[in-house]
Amino acid sequence: VINESLSQVSHGVGVKIRIASANRTIHLWNLHLDYQSYGPYAAFNKMVNKVTQIMAGEMADGEGRFQNIRELLLDDHFQEAVGNSSIEPLIVCGDFNSPSHLDWTNETSFLHGNWKFQWPATQILENEAKMKDSFRELHPNVLENPGITWSTVEKMSSGGWSWTIPEPQDRIDYIYYRSPLLTPVESYTYQGNDTVYAKPFHWKNDYPSDHFAVVTTFRLM
């Protein structure tokens, strides 16, 4: 990590990393976007019948995932990283607490409460910052490779429903990149090598997270 390269926004941090073996510097941002008013809960709520209702959760009274990603794009250090990405690769990764607009399509709507939805966090990062979703680039067929990351243990709702209501499962963790110097060659989800037990038996698990990890291998020119 390059000294004094730390940048920070409300829901993420960025640093410059020197890769000595390749004689390259990369910009790496890690995000953890707002977890409240989780979109799929609205999508599977039978009382919700308008796109604006789902979008209201992404806005979250001015403090939602929409604003989180907007703040990133307006950050001077992030804008500098975007501008330099042709010579210094840029990676943005983390827990977005949001599905991808690439996954909620007409073809897959039967999996998502019959909704097609343009989730703003991923759409803005792709359309405005011109970043690429490394997993979906290598696995374009959503039905064959859904890439679920939520959740390893949260399979059924426990809150007063005696484990009878399914928890929506979705891809909400990402590794985005921007640079002609980077080529993704492999991307997959990971939950360790041992059996991972869902709640309420998660205490048996060696794997420590309620999310699957996302792992992408890049070729760096």
Tens-place pLDDT, residues 169-205: 999 999 999 999 999 999 999 999 999 999 989 999 9
CATH of domain 7-220: 3.60.10
- Give the confidence band of 158 by pLDDT, cuts at 50, 70, 90: confident
Query: String of b and e for 115-131 (b: at least 16 CB within 10 Å)?
Result: bebbbbbbbbbbeebeb
Structure tokens that stand for 114 in this block = 């019959």
Rounded mean pLDDT, 151-165: 88
Residue 118's SS3 state is coil
Taken as a whole, the chain contains a residue count of 221
Which of 209, 193, 165, 196 is CA-nearest to residue 32? Answer: 209
60-117 pLDDT, tens digit per residue, is: 989 999 999 999 999 999 999 999 999 999 999 999 999 999 999 999 999 999 999 9
The pLDDT of residue 163 is 86
The model's pTM = 0.96
Give the model confidence (pLDDT) of 144-154 as tens digits. 999 999 999 99
Domain borders along the chain are 7-220
Residue 157 pLDDT level (bands cut at 50, 70, 90)? confident
> Which residues, 6 or more positions from 134, have their beta carbon under 8 angstroms from its beta carbon?
174, 175, 176, 177, 184, 187, 216, 218
State the pLDDT confidence band at 6, using cuts at 50, 70 and 90: very high
What does the pLDDT average to over 20-45?
Answer: 97
Q: What is the pLDDT of residue 160?
A: 77
What's the confidence (pLDDT) of residue 26?
98
Asked if residue 207 lies in contact with residue 198, where contact means CB atoms within 8 angstroms, the answer is no
Q: Nearest-CA neighbor of 89 among 172, 8, 2, 176? A: 176
Residue 126: φ, ψ to 5°: -75, -50
Q: With cut-offs at 50, 70 and 90, classify the pLDDT of residue 159.
A: confident
When the pLDDT of each residue in the chain is averaged and rounded to a whole number, the result is: 97
